[in-house]
Amino acid sequence: MMLRFAAPALTSLALLSAPAHALDLTNMSDAERAAFGEQVRAYLLENPEIIVEAIDVLEQQQQQATALADQELVQANADALFNDGYSWVGGNPEGDITLVEFMDYRCGYCRRAVPEVASLLAEDGNIRLVIKELPILGEASVLSSRFAVATKQVAGDDAYKQVHDALLEFGGDVSEVTLRRLSDGLGLDSDAIVAAMDSDAVSAEIAKTRELAQQLNISGTPSFVLGTEMLRGFLPADQMQQIADGVRAEKG
């Protein structure tokens, strides 16, 4: 498919290198146009590396266009991303840049990201973290997120962080029974939390995060926003640190 995209660029290069009288294809006869096409074909067959170069250029242009579009999406949704008033905030709350993580408790890559995010926050020391609950992997994901959000609303941020970490480590089947056991083990009020799981307040928070994810064209977890940059997928700490350094450099 990429070869099809590259062909117009290659034709343009050939036209630019052709004599001035040959630039206007509309004034060519059918025979001249056919001859010109054969010349282009022969040149590409003799120099196939040009096709690879053109594809590389196209991919770079597409990546740049995607990055620019993502930055515009981040700017347009900045308040909902960084200061929604309900998402849990950790790391350095006074950090100079913010890392937003959209996560699902049943997502394997979200679990892999836990030590990487922790390492980034510890090593950098100046990054604010915002967690967005985005349950997209089935009923177990929804139950887990409802329980976590209910915990935050009933018992506060510290209790939420405990439950959040425990759910990311939990490998068993998710049910009301197992969630109660988890909550009891942490010394929380399980009855109050379970009673709040289906509340309108919990539903509204999850719905708002889903809507924000749709606005940002996020379809998988983990997905991150680091400063002005959208990071779609798992990244190790050192790569995220490089991006954070780049964001700071752009800010001056």
The mean-pLDDT minimum among 2-6, 169-173, 226-230 falls in 2-6
pLDDT tier, 14 (very low <50, low <70, confident <90, very high otherwise)? very low
Question: Quick one: pLDDT at residue 225?
Answer: 97
Which residue, among 243, 116, 217, has the nearest Cα to 168 in the 3D structure?
A: 116
Q: Please state whether the predicted TM-score (pTM) of the whole model is above 0.85.
A: no
- Using the Cα atoms of residue 213, residue 214, residue 216 and residue 219 in order, give the sign of their dihedral: positive
What element of type H or E holds 8?
helix 2-17
Domains of the chain: 2-71 (no CATH), 78-251 (3.40.30.10)
Q: What rounded mean pLDDT belongs to the chain? A: 88
Rounded-to-integer distance, Cα 144 and Cα 210, Å: 15
Q: Do residues 162 and 129 touch, judged by C-beta distance below 8 A?
A: no
42 φ/ψ sector (left φ>0, alpha ψ -120 to 50, else beta): alpha
- Using one digit for the tens of pLDDT, what is the confidence trace for 152-205? 999 999 999 999 999 999 989 999 999 999 999 999 999 999 999 999 999 999
Does pLDDT of 10 surpass 80? Answer: no
- Using one digit for the tens of pLDDT, what is the confidence trace for 53-111? 778 777 777 766 667 788 999 999 999 999 999 999 999 999 999 999 999 999 999 99
Rounded-to-integer distance, Cα 56 and Cα 66, Å: 15
Q: Name the CA radius of gyration of the chain, rounded.
A: 26
Percent of the chain with pLDDT over 90: 69
Structure tokens at 20: 């001035």
